[in-house]
Structure 1
């Protein structure tokens, strides 16, 4: 039962595939990565046994994924820029377009995600501003061996805002439950929202629980004060 008392962030790092389990059960391992599995399950009212069984099966399989905890800051930042920053800049404009179309065509339906397009536009602006600050200020400092507590704390606070924006997105989209007979555009919208949610959570997890954690060795080690 030791897994129960480890943080979600640590489990996500240590067990290849654990994030898929957390996504499935809607457990917040990014902004809520400091919570233990036991605390997260209690908050959601979930039984521990099936989730523990899945995690233990993954741990026993010993699948290998990139161990970002041993990567340099430069390597990790390059991955974040390519895998997440570039992708979010492609995802959101298309999702906004799809949401506008669904609201225009299906506005009379009780299932229509009214207000979603506007919310996604706000998310796009906030996320773009956040990523630019990382790219122009924080990432260069981290790449050069500094660990600036002030900028890191600001980014972590903004991550909490992104998490709340995701929750609001899901509320507006009726938890991504498609109505019967939903058109292709509506289906594509909800599939894209699911991908955005999972990508953004993975993105925040990698920053909060790996990149922003002060490391003492390797090319990307810090020389500043711990936050």
Structure 2
């Protein structure tokens, strides 16, 4: 029996139900985290992507044998929050300062020959500052509010919480846009001929950061926040 994935399905729901499809969306440069609410057809409407090709790749990924994975939809909100903080937030708190030094160094050393690196550094520093404030806001305000609402799901509590989550999703979108801009200006992290070891490591770490943030935002926007 084949996997049921259709053009009218929400992108975020596809990744939630079939986690391995995330790699397909990355390959097609389709945003499944901040853009998770759009349908597959909406996601490709303005792009040179054939619906049949994408659906075939998505179905193949969904049907591929895999090791047992976490079913995120079955986790309680408290468990999901613990996972997000303990994995994604802790990763960012370690990776962002380290990457800041790398990006600054390659801009300083290679910026004369590759002036776009100065723009990469500016965008990255904006991303770093935004995410540090964002994570603090989630841990001190939003996540406790989600758990409090589950205990007392009144209409007024829901309305207040939705306002908070809407702001967080707007911030997610801003961070996602910065990641897209960095990828575009680096031509999908294409290394120049004169790239040194630090240059190569920086691009590798930036791609690692991007992948982690996509999964991070997906878990929040399309699963945790969607419960409200």
Q: Show the counterpart of 2:79.
A: 75
The partner residue of 1:101 within 81, 98, 105 is: 105
TM-score, normalization: structure 1? Answer: 0.87
TM-aligned CA deviation for residue 206 of structure 1? 0.8
The count of aligned residue pairs is: 215
Superposition misfits of 4+ residues, deviation over 6 angstroms: none
1:130-154 residue CA offsets vs partner (Å, 9 max, x unmatched): 1101000111122232552121111
Q: Show the counterpart of 1:122.
A: 126
Question: Contact between 2:24 and 2:57, CA under 8 Å: does it hold in 1?
Answer: yes
Identify the range of structure 1 (44-53 vs 186-195) with the bigger mean alpha-carbon deviation: 44-53
The partner residue of 1:18 within 18, 21, 25 is: 21
TM-aligned CA deviation for residue 27 of structure 1? 0.5
**Inter-CA distance 68–8: structure 2 relative to 1 (3 Å threshold):** same
Question: Contact between 1:33 and 1:209, CA under 8 Å: does it hold in 2?
Answer: yes
**Inter-CA distance 2–171: structure 2 relative to 1 (3 Å threshold):** closer
TM-score, normalization: structure 2? Answer: 0.87
Q: Is residue 2:94 matched to residue 1:90?
A: yes
TM-aligned CA deviation for residue 202 of structure 1? 1.1
Q: Show the counterpart of 1:137.
A: 141
Q: Give distance in 2, aligned partners of 1:108 and 1:138.
A: 43
The partner residue of 1:61 within 61, 64, 67 is: 64
TM-aligned CA deviation for residue 113 of structure 1? 1.5
Q: Show the counterpart of 2:225.
A: 212
Q: Give distance in 1, aligned partners of 2:89 and 2:144.
A: 15
Q: Give distance in 1, aligned partners of 2:19 and 2:168.
A: 26
The partner residue of 1:199 within 212, 217, 226 is: 212
CA RMSD of aligned residues (A): 1.8
Q: Give distance in 2, aligned partners of 1:82 and 1:190.
A: 25
Q: Show the counterpart of 2:193.
A: 180
Question: Contact between 2:5 and 2:55, CA under 8 Å: does it hold in 1?
Answer: no
Gaps of 5+ in 1: 215-225
1:185-212 residue CA offsets vs partner (Å, 9 max, x unmatched): 1111111111111111111111010000
Q: Give distance in 2, aligned partners of 1:140 and 1:121.
A: 28
Q: Give distance in 2, aligned partners of 1:209 and 1:16.
A: 12
Q: Show the counterpart of 1:6.
A: 9
Identify the range of structure 1 (197-206 vs 168-177) with the bigger mean alpha-carbon deviation: 168-177
TM-aligned CA deviation for residue 112 of structure 1? 5.0
